[in-house]
Amino acid sequence: MSDQKNPPSHESPPVRAMDVLRFLRQHPGFFSQYPEILEELQVVDSEGGVTSLLNYQVKVLQEKNWQLTGQISELISAARNNEQLLDKVFELALIFSTLPAGQSSLNAFVDYVKKAFPSDFLALAVPAGLLPADTRMQHIVMISDAAEYQTLFQEMLHPPQPLCGRLKADKLDYLFGKQATEVTSVALIPLGNTAMDGLLAFGSREQQRFVPGMSTAILERLGRLLHHKLQRDRDGDADSSSVPVNDA
């Protein structure tokens, strides 16, 4: 009995996913010619369910729309918040402009900031030469040793720049005294062009209240406004003391 050869196979080789992907990229108009196929295609959505390709596309567009709506809402909220903060800075400028002669700008500043920009702790480090005679010392740290002050805060003095986040214990002790152990995050704002004219410090018990990278534009305006007023007060006192008095 003679051997019979196996008949030739007529089965096509399996189609790989990459072959389909390559074909679709080479024929971008394929689904335009056969739109009915789109209704038959099924995909797995983000929740693990099977749905049609058209429904999947609609869901993806809806999710993107929700994300954009949320981002726009956040931007609008931030803009409104910044507008309110700028209004507070303007209000402080008005308070400074109407202070009676001889009344301490630092007292007025501390009272207003505690109300308009509340934080757990507040400290103002100011050189003795900028301290008005009637200044209340609560929340005020007098810089009596410039060398000590410069050594402690040298990383933000040259050039002067705001700092947000955590501080070492020696800096916290200098600014907040007995309350230093309660402060876990701080926003430091230089008052002058060299920051040797002092620091405005906001402290919080919450570690995430003041974090690196957060915006400090409004707080910087507060610091510039206070520094300008203190300099004007000092210069005004000097001018008035140099005016000769005529005896009758």
For tokens 């707080």, what's the residue?
219
pLDDT at position 76 is 67
Angle 157-94-109 from CA coordinates, rounded to 5° = 45
Q: What is the average pLDDT score of the chain?
A: 78
Which range in 41-50, 107-116, 188-197 is most confidently predicted, on average pLDDT? Answer: 107-116
Asked, as a colleague might, if the bond just before 159 is cis with ω within 30 of 0, I would say yes
CATH value of 105-233 in 3.40.50.300, 3.40.640.10, 3.40.50.620, 3.30.450.40 = 3.30.450.40
Residue 170 makes CB contacts below 8 A (sequence gap 6+) with 152
Q: Mean pLDDT over residues 140-151, rounded?
A: 88
Is the pTM of the predicted complex or chain greater than 0.75? Answer: no
Domain spans in the chain, listed from the N-terminal domain onward: 33-98, 105-233
CA-based radius of gyration for the chain: 34
The band of 242, judged by pLDDT with boundaries at 50, 70 and 90, is very low
Residue 205 identity: R
The 10s digit of each residue's pLDDT in 22-42 is 888 888 888 778 777 777 777
Helix, strand, coil tally for the chain in percent (to 5):
50, 15, 35
The 10s digit of each residue's pLDDT in 215-224 is 888 888 888 8
Residue 244: exposure state from Cβ atoms within 10 A (0-12, 13-18, ≥19): exposed
The band of 243, judged by pLDDT with boundaries at 50, 70 and 90, is very low
